Amino acid sequence: MSQVELIDISKSYDKQKSVLDEINLSIEEGEFFVLVGPSGSGKSTLLRMIAGLEEITGGTLKVDKKTVNHLPPKDRNLSMVFQNYALYPHLSVEQNILFGLNAKKVDKKEQRRRLTETAKMMGLDKLLKRKPKELSGGQRQRVALARSVVSEAPLCLMDEPLSNLDAKLRAHMRVEIRRLQKRLGLTMVYVTHDQVEAMTMGDRIMVLNDGKIQQVGKPISLYNEPANLFVASFIGSPKMNLGKVVYSSDTRKLIIEDTLLLDVDSSFLNMISLNKNLTIGIRAEHILPATDKDPTHHLEVVNVEHLGNETSIAFDIGSEMWTAKWPGQWAINVGDFVPIHITINNLSFFNTDTGELIRSANISKKQEVVAI
C-alpha cells in the first residue's frame, strides 16, 4: 500500500522558474526510499513539502490516501530528522527526546515508557542528563533519531542527517539507521547528495536533477541500467567511464574518443546505423586486466590508488579520464603500459544529443580477473 503519493507536484517561487516540475511518485509502506541528486536539484525542497514546511505550488500530496496539501506538519503524523540535528542546547538529552511528546501532552507514564525503550535502543540510556554540548557528533545524531523514534510516527523524513559526521562514523550510522528502520517497520524518506549512501541504504532510489525525476528504481538497476547520461555519471563510485564514439565502416570498428578501436559484433550494427551520435559508458570493474595473450589494448597509467582490498588505475582516453577498479593489490606505477581487456558487451550506449540510454551493458556471466 502506498504510504506517500505525489501527483503532479510542482514548486516555484514568485511564479518564476520551477524548483520542482510535475513530480509523480509513490512510496510504499515500510519502504526505505532515498532522494538523491546534486546540490540545488530540489530534493530537500521536496522533502520539506512532504513534511508541510514548504507550500505546494501545484499538484496533490497524499499520505495514507488522504490529501494533506493544506495540513500543518503536526497533523501529518510524521517525524523529521534535520541535517543540523536541531537540538535545544539548554535542554538535556532526555528533555530533547521528550520535547515533542510534551508538546502533544502525551501522558507522563507513556512518555517514560517510550523514553526508556528508545534510549536503550539508541544506546543513550547513560547520557540522558547530559546537554548537547557534552556529546559527540554521533551521539547528537542518535538523540535526533531518538526524538523521531519516540514519536512512534509511521513516516520518518531525514534530510542529509549524516553529512556532518566523519567518514567512519557515517558508515556506522548508515547501518544503524537501516537496522532501526527495519526493526520499527518505518516508512523512511531519506535525502542525500551522497550516492554511496543512496546505494547502500535505499530499497529504491529517485535521482533528481534540476527539479526533474531522472530515474526511479532499485539501486542495482540504476547502477546497471542508468536511464541517461546524468544517472550514469552520478550513480556509482567511481562514476561510469564515458566516451564519444564513431563507427568506421572501413575497418568495421568502433573508435572511442579518437583513441581506442574496438571490434563490433554484427548484432550491434543496426543500432549503430540508426544512432549516428553515440556515447558509450563502461563501469570501472569491466575494464579488465589481461594477460599478454588476450589484451584488446595497452594503456598508459596516469594515476594509481592502492586501497588495500582493491587498486584503482586511471588512464587518459582522448579528452576523458577513465578509471579501472581491480580487486587485490597490483604492482603498477604511473607511466606503466598495462594490458587490458574490453568487450563490446560491457558497453552501455547512449544517445549523445538526448542523453537517453539506447542499450545497456549485457554482462552475461561472471568475469574472472587474471593477473598481468
- Single out the residue in 203, 229, 255 at which a domain terminates: 229
Say if 370 falls within a structural domain: no
Whether residues 145 and 283 share a domain: the answer is: no
What cell numbers appear for 232 in the block? 550514469
Distance CA 258, CA 256 (A): 5
Whether residues 163 and 121 share a domain: the answer is: yes
Say if 315 falls within a structural domain: yes
Q: Alpha carbon 356 to chain centroid distance?
A: 20
Say if 371 falls within a structural domain: no
**pLDDT in the model for residue 94:** 93
Say if 223 falls within a structural domain: yes
N-terminal to C-terminal alpha carbon distance within the chain: 52
**pLDDT in the model for residue 275:** 73
Please compute the mean of the pLDDT values over residues 186-201 and round it to a whole number. 92
**pLDDT in the model for residue 366:** 43
> What are the DSSP calls for 204-218, one per residue?
EEEEEETTEEEEEE-
- Single out the residue in 185, 203, 229 at which a domain terminates: 229
pLDDT in tens, 207-220: 999 999 999 999 99
Say if 372 falls within a structural domain: no
Please compute the mean of the pLDDT values over residues 242-246 and round it to a whole number. 93
Whether residues 162 and 213 share a domain: the answer is: yes
Residue 247 — very low, low, confident or very high, per pLDDT cuts 50/70/90? confident
Q: Say which DSSP state 367 is in.
A: P
Whether residues 219 and 270 share a domain: the answer is: no
**pLDDT in the model for residue 369:** 41
Say if 332 falls within a structural domain: yes
Whether residues 181 and 280 share a domain: the answer is: no
**pLDDT in the model for residue 9:** 94
Say if 16 falls within a structural domain: yes
Whether residues 208 and 288 share a domain: the answer is: no
Whether residues 64 and 99 share a domain: the answer is: yes
What 3 state SS string does 122-157 have? HCCCCCCCCCHHHCCHHHHHHHHHHHHHHCCCCEEE
Distance CA 367, CA 25 (A): 36
Say if 193 falls within a structural domain: yes
Task: Extract the runs of DSSP E, i.e. beta strands, from 283-354.
Answer: 288-289, 297-306, 310-317, 320-327, 337-341, 348-351
pLDDT > 90 in the chain, percent: 63
Whether residues 214 and 262 share a domain: the answer is: no
What cell numbers appear for 343 in the block? 568487450
**pLDDT in the model for residue 368:** 41
Whether residues 213 and 249 share a domain: the answer is: no
pLDDT, averaged across the chain: 89
pLDDT in tens, 293-316: 688 999 999 999 999 999 999 999
Sign of CA dihedral 309, 312, 313, 317: positive
What cell numbers appear for 87 in the block? 537540538
Whether residues 216 and 247 share a domain: the answer is: no
**pLDDT in the model for residue 141:** 86
Does 180 or 313 have the greater pLDDT score? 313
In this structure, the number of other CB atoms found within 10 A of the CB of residue 21 comes to 17
Whether residues 255 and 316 share a domain: the answer is: yes
Residue 314 backbone phi and psi in degrees, to 5:
-110, 145
Please compute the mean of the pLDDT values over residues 121-138 and round it to a whole number. 89
**pLDDT in the model for residue 365:** 42
| Residue whose C-alpha is closest to residue 200's, from 165, 154, 241, 162 | 162
**pLDDT in the model for residue 363:** 67
Reduced to 3 states, what is the DSSP secondary structure of residue 290?
coil
- Single out the residue in 210, 229, 248 at which a domain terminates: 229
**Which residue's entry shows cell 531518538?**
146
Distance CA 231, CA 211 (A): 14
Residue 1 — very low, low, confident or very high, per pLDDT cuts 50/70/90? low
Peptide bond into 89 cis (omega under 30): no
Task: Give the number of domains in the chain.
Answer: 2
Distance CA 346, CA 89 (A): 54
Distance CA 161, CA 347 (A): 36
Domain hosting 210: range is 2-229
Q: Which of 76-80, 171-175, 185-189, 341-345 has the lowest mean pLDDT?
A: 171-175
Return the CATH number at 172. 3.40.50.300
Distance CA 27, CA 130 (A): 37
Whether residues 83 and 105 share a domain: the answer is: yes
Between the CA atoms of 149, 153, 159 and 165, what dihedral angle is there, to the nearest 10 degrees? Answer: 0
Distance CA 203, CA 34 (A): 8
